[in-house]
Amino acid sequence: MSGWSTKDIPDQSGRTFVVTGANSGLGAETARALVDAGARVILACRNTVKADAVARELGERAEVAALDLADLASVRSFADGLPGVDVLINNAGVMAVPLGRTADGFEMQMGTNHLGHFALTALVLPKVADRVVTLSSGMHQLGRIDLDDLGWERRRYRAWQAYGDSKMANLIFGQVLAERLTAAGDSRKSLIAHPGYAATGLQGHTESIMDKVMVVGNLFAQSAADGALPTLFAATAPDAVNGTFYGPTKLFGMRGAPGESGFSGRARDERIRTGLWTASENLTGTSITL
């Protein structure tokens, strides 16, 4: 896959993709590349006004559906109305925001980035024909998931730690789902991707000194279009391997063409993996049965 780019995406005519958070940044660039390859793309977004503008630009094979991952009622409504699709791309997310709560009382980052996508995947997986791709981040390396306080109700809140926890949860979820699919003899795939250091549109909203740091850092970041390449590879390449974590392959995984990415050994902690899955089922009231 050396030098893999959007030119290497196979013809996607007749295939349908769901991309969460496709109204800007990585999601919009992912949707754009898929439409260019012939796919039909459902832009599943909270901000439907911005999503409508993207869909108009992309043309008749792009459509918008309302989805707020911070509200399980919205997730269920979206899932109920979704037709059969080929690929679900769990792309949407928030990064290092001040302490807040979802409609269901979850800490905003774990609730949006992981629990919302967990519930969405559980509800729509029977309608997914080919694969699920879940976005993590190199910042998963910060992850120290506290199973006794997933909601940051007893600890002093630390925004970047909470973000790292949510991205570790995304990685673990994608890996465990892959293992469960294989164990069930299911030919579908679960893959995980990260964009490296890309100008995604998430930067600058942390309400901390890091906003200014990241704005300067964006001068050296790769574009959102390049950051979307690992997602696109995971979502379309016939030889993408179930359970694999894909990301940029140059500059310590920060930029470059997509390839297999290393990850923190904490993602292999069986206590955390099992506990996170069980907690996710209990908190969202959903389960994945294969």
Phi-psi region of 252 (alpha: psi -120 to 50; beta: other; left: phi over 0): left
Q: List Cα–Cα distances, 264 to 159, 253, 261, in angstroms.
A: 20, 13, 10
The whole-angstrom separation of Cα 272 and Cα 42 is 33
β-bridge mates for residue 260, sequence order: 246
For the CA atoms of 215, 220, 223, 227, the dihedral, rounded to the nearest 10 degrees, stands at -100
- Concerning whether 163 is annotated as a catalytic residue, the answer is yes
The one catalytic residue in 157, 163, 197, 246 is: 163
Burial class (CB in 10 A: 0-12, 13-18, 19+), 71: middle
Q: What are the structure tokens assigned to 156, written together?
A: 């002093």
- The catalytic site residues sit at 163
